Structure 1
Amino acid sequence: MTHPFKRLVLPALLASFAVHANAASDSAALVQPMTEYKLYVIDEVHELVNDTRAFTQAVENGDIAKAKSLYAPARIHYERIEPVAELFADLDASMDAREDDYEKGVNDPNFSGFHRIEYALWAQNSTQGMDKFAQQLMSDTQELESRLTNLAFPPSNVVDGSAALIEEVAATKISGEEDRYSHTDLWDFQANIDGAKKIVDLLREPLQAEHAQFLAKIDRNFQRVDTILAKYREGDGFQSYEALSTQDRKALQGPITVLAEELSQMRGMFGLN
């Protein structure tokens, strides 16, 4: 179903992206991909709102099992669009910070968002005291949708975002620190890969025209990572990250690191350095 925002904002997007793309780069080839990426983000953040609503309602209802089952599916929408979601540092900190970001860790009153609730669900097997965090997360998610809908994305952030998504997996997430209580890390990994791949797909035409060999190499490496992740699929999602051995994690880290290094070259290819 076409999201209603598309009908409302598409004409304005075309005009605004023309200005932003021309200001940031000589490449007119970026205008249409940036417009299409904005529509992709609108769809994803709309799904994020819907799924976060179901997740937070389960938390407020004290339904631990249901809340656990809805945690990872809600987060994938955030992880796919993380490069632009992170443009709003206040919301990113409120929604997606980890306990390490706070002096008092899990006991810090400012620690909130997905990972604060994740700690309660898995480490404490409880929803006690989580109502306020659930309500704040829902409010933050709706605010994110509002801000992203009204934002013209800088092309450099989008093009860089494909590499940034993969670099974060390779640099920190591979250790399991992101979803350290639920061990749903593989859901996040796949969402990051999907988000990076979407950006490449939207840039496929100009890349094919000017950098065909590079694009073919990128496609092969995406396929390689997807094939590795597919080994750990379980039903509609993934098995616990705890089930992966150190060797398994290293086997995943290598191809992800290579992919991140290659994607980082795209900024220069589009004259965004």
Structure 2
Amino acid sequence: MILPFKRLMLSTLVAAFAVQANAATDSTALVEPMTEYKLYVIDEVHDLVQDTRAFTQAVENGDVEKAKSLYAPARIHYERIEPVAELFADLDASMDAREDDYEQGVKDPKFSGFHRIEYALWAKNSTQGMDQFAKQLLSDTQELESRLTKLAFPPSNVVDGAAALIEEVAATKISGEEDRYSHTDLWDFQANIDGAKKIVDLLRQPLKANHAQFLAKVDHNFQRVDAILAKYRQGDGFESYEALSTRDRKALQGPITVLAEELSQMRGMFGLN
């Protein structure tokens, strides 16, 4: 159900995306999906702010165990919308950088965001000295919400984003480098899959009309990946990524790589090359 204020936003966004999509071969087919994707992103970034507020509050309160329990649930909202969140390089670096991005690693004063706090919680089992990083992280999510709300997303970034989300899992995240301290990687994987699937679902009508065989293959491979991830579910989340053997990780990497290769074809299908 679309609330009244969202209906107004929807009509405004349709006009904005129509202008952007005119360069595409299938421009009219992209207008409504891009508009719906904007509403999806707005919902996700709102939840990101709310869940990050609870997470950072636990950090500031010095409640290590509660902060640990809220870390992965907060991050999934960022991981689902990563293709557009990354349009703001400054915020992406501040919120989601890894220690490898800095010369002094975890000791670098510029290293901040989720992974800086993750290090403190799991490697040090402490929140000492994390107040400033917690405050900055919440402020960054609020700024991200403000910027995304005002942004009209380029269709190429959204269509490419489906493949980009999966490619990153296959190329780098499968090694466990993303959440190397908490080992909550499977939460991120599922969020990336969900984000990519959302884009495909919004493009389902034009894909079914013009590329039905391709869509059937993509749907099948999404099901394969979801089925593998489901084996590692625990309650509302997932077991530690450390529990997966090298064989388990390779079994996951194969279908994810195939899915990424397939999704990379969508750009050409919508005349965005």
TM-score after normalising by structure 1: 0.98
- Give the deviation of 1:27 after TM superposition: 2.4
Contact 1:3–1:43 at 8 Å: present in 2 too?
Answer: no
Give distance in 1, aligned partners of 2:226 and 2:172.
Answer: 19
- Give the deviation of 1:4 after TM superposition: 7.8
Superposition pairs of residues 1-12 of structure 1, within 5 angstroms: 6-7=6-7, 9-12=9-12
Contact 2:18–2:27 at 8 Å: present in 1 too?
Answer: no
- Secondary structure of the 1:87 match is coil
The corresponding residue for 1:221 is 221
- Secondary structure of the 1:23 match is coil
The corresponding residue for 2:107 is 107
The corresponding residue for 1:202 is 202
**Residues 196-242 of structure 1, C-alpha deviations (whole Å, 9 max, x = no match):** 00000000000000000000000000000000000000000000000
- Give the deviation of 1:22 after TM superposition: 1.0
Does residue 183 (structure 1) correspond to residue 183 (structure 2)? The answer is yes
- Give the deviation of 1:7 after TM superposition: 4.6
The corresponding residue for 2:149 is 149
Does residue 253 (structure 1) correspond to residue 253 (structure 2)? The answer is yes
Does residue 266 (structure 1) correspond to residue 244 (structure 2)? The answer is no
Superposition pairs of residues 44-63 of structure 1, within 5 angstroms: 44-63=44-63
Please say which of residues 6-15 and 217-226 is displaced more in the overlay.
6-15
Give distance in 2, aligned partners of 1:251 and 1:265.
Answer: 23
Give distance in 2, aligned partners of 1:52 and 1:198.
Answer: 22
The corresponding residue for 1:123 is 123
Please say which of residues 12-21 and 32-41 is displaced more in the overlay.
12-21
The corresponding residue for 2:96 is 96
Contact 1:80–1:191 at 8 Å: present in 2 too?
Answer: yes
Q: What is the root-mean-square deviation in Å for CA atoms of aligned residues?
A: 1.2
Does residue 162 (structure 1) correspond to residue 162 (structure 2)? The answer is yes
Structure 1 residue identity aligned to 2:264: S
Give distance in 2, aligned partners of 1:16 and 1:145.
Answer: 19
- Give the deviation of 1:167 after TM superposition: 0.1
Superposition pairs of residues 31-50 of structure 1, within 5 angstroms: 31-50=31-50
The corresponding residue for 1:73 is 73
- Secondary structure of the 1:272 match is coil
- Give the deviation of 1:5 after TM superposition: 6.0
Structure 2 residue identity aligned to 1:31: V
- Give the deviation of 1:9 after TM superposition: 2.3
Give distance in 1, aligned partners of 2:162 and 2:89.
Answer: 19
CA pair 148-4 structure 1, distance change in 2 beyond 3 A? farther
Give distance in 1, aligned partners of 2:4 and 2:258.
Answer: 39
Structure 1 residue identity aligned to 2:84: V
Give distance in 2, aligned partners of 1:5 and 1:49.
Answer: 20
Q: Structure 1: any 5+ residue segments left out of the alignment?
A: none
- Give the deviation of 1:254 after TM superposition: 0.3
- Secondary structure of the 1:111 match is coil
TM-score after normalising by structure 2: 0.98
Give distance in 2, aligned partners of 1:176 and 1:70.
Answer: 19
CA pair 141-8 structure 1, distance change in 2 beyond 3 A? farther
The corresponding residue for 1:234 is 234
Give distance in 2, aligned partners of 1:99 and 1:139.
Answer: 21
Structure 2 residue identity aligned to 1:92: D
Give distance in 1, aligned partners of 2:263 and 2:147.
Answer: 27
CA pair 216-120 structure 1, distance change in 2 beyond 3 A? same
Give distance in 2, aligned partners of 1:164 and 1:47.
Answer: 22
Q: Structure 2: any 5+ residue segments left out of the alignment?
A: none
- Secondary structure of the 1:271 match is coil
- Give the deviation of 1:163 after TM superposition: 0.1
The corresponding residue for 2:28 is 28
